[in-house]
Amino acid sequence: MSFAFVVENPNPGHLLDGKYQVAAYDSSGIVLDTNSGYIYSVFPSQKTAISASMYLPSNTTAARLDVQVQTTSSTPFTARPTFSFSNITYLPDEYSPKVSAIIANPFDKDAKSIRVSAVAYNASGVIVGGGFTYQDFVPAHGQSATSFSIATTAAPTRTELYGSASSLGGKPW
């Protein structure tokens, strides 16, 4: 099972780092699986997304998810541009649907191991899927193509992409 959620940094003067925990429950309230991880570098007044997978026991269905987010550091930070995406396209496939796009790097340094998360929405604005990848690199003030698998419960009408620094590649600013 895949999940996705959006995190917003409402603080206009601080860069936030954090961590998350997600629990999937069946209709009886039994925990089917959990997932946790880190949220790196949410710029001031910006959003990012987390998308990942869980492995549920056979013949079970998640009835609800519980998402908890905790800020681990808040660093004074001057607002800067962030990674941007263009030509976002959902590519349907019976077995492995994908999303493709162009990612642009606004920074003076090459960006390495950028976590790119996709959040797919239906016409009502409900999240119907997601996925993620690590983009090897995006040149300074340049762009790169990205394409990766996403899991959805229905064909999305809109897909948003978010890019953030990861512990694998460091921060390009």
Same-domain check for residues 49 and 94:
no
pLDDT one-digit tens code per residue, 52-83: 999 999 999 999 999 999 999 999 988 778 89
164 vs 48: CA distance, rounded Å: 7
172 residue type, one letter:
P
- Is 22 inside any structural domain? yes
How many domains does the structure of the chain reveal?
Answer: 2
Same-domain check for residues 96 and 54:
no
The tokens for 37 are 């991880």
Say if residue 46's pLDDT is above 80: yes
Nearest to 83, CA basis, from 172, 19, 3, 14? 172
- Is 15 inside any structural domain? yes
What domain range is 23 assigned to?
A: 2-76
Q: In the structure, what pLDDT confidence band is assigned to residue 165 with cuts at 50, 70 and 90?
A: confident
Q: In the structure, what pLDDT confidence band is assigned to residue 144 with cuts at 50, 70 and 90?
A: very high
CATH no. for residue 7? 2.60.40
Residue appearing with tokens 């269905």: 61
pLDDT one-digit tens code per residue, 84-121: 999 999 999 989 999 999 999 999 999 999 999 999 99
Say if residue 146's pLDDT is above 90: yes
Same-domain check for residues 107 and 53:
no
| Cα dist from 173 to 1, 14, 39, 141, 169, whole Å | 34, 15, 17, 12, 12
Say if residue 168's pLDDT is above 90: no
The number of beta carbons lying within 10 Å of the beta carbon of residue 164 is 22
Same-domain check for residues 98 and 68:
no
Same-domain check for residues 14 and 65:
yes
Q: How many residues does the chain have?
A: 173
- Is 173 inside any structural domain? no
Q: What is the pLDDT of residue 122?
A: 97
Give the pTM.
0.85
Same-domain check for residues 6 and 22:
yes
For all residues of the chain together, what is the average pLDDT? 93
Same-domain check for residues 91 and 158:
yes
- Is 140 inside any structural domain? yes
CATH no. for residue 121? 2.60.40.10
Q: In the structure, what pLDDT confidence band is assigned to residue 169 with cuts at 50, 70 and 90?
A: confident
